[in-house]
Amino acid sequence: MRIAVGCDHTAVALKQELIAFVEELGFSVRDFGVESGASCHYPEIAEPVCRAVAAGECALGLLICGTGVGMSLAANKVTGIRCAVCSESYSAEMTRRHNDANVLAVGARVVGSEVAKRIVQAFLSTPFEGGRHQTRVDMIMDMEKRSREGTL
């Protein structure tokens, strides 16, 4: 299973650490940058990561910025993406189990690297439960469709 990973300038070191961790867990990684601490714009990274997930080129995505919030806001503008920003592993587990989230956002200025690893591990190792949760996810995706059509 391949994971799309990207960060902005606030999270280069954490991205490298999480990529190594994700690979240790047995996943392959497609790294969308950035590699430098020079100021950049997080939507420019969120978009290609999410397009790779939405296109099925990568199964799941991981985005890291200072808070995780900017990345999650940008990610959720991409059709087919359900991104959750998580600062602890319970939410990361439940957003896979109940929301079928396909992108995780993490804040490098919010959590330390060991907590970030637990969050990522929970996200990557938890399946979607389906059932009644599928009905609710379908409702979210219907909202996305109506928004695109201008009827929401």
Q: How many CB atoms lie within 10 A of CB 30?
A: 17
Find the angle CA(110)-CA(96)-CA(35) to the nearest 5 degrees: 45
Catalytic residue among 7, 50, 65, 86: 65
Instruction: Work out which of 4, 6, 8, 34 binds ligand RB5, going by CB under 6 A.
Output: 8
Is 65 annotated in the active site?
A: yes
Active site residue 98: yes
Interface pattern 66-105 for ligand RB5 (x via CB under 6 A): xx-xx-----------------------------------
Cα separations (Å) of 126 from 41, 95, 98, 129? 30, 9, 10, 9
Residues that bind ligand RB5 (CB under 6 A): 8, 10, 42, 65-67, 69-70
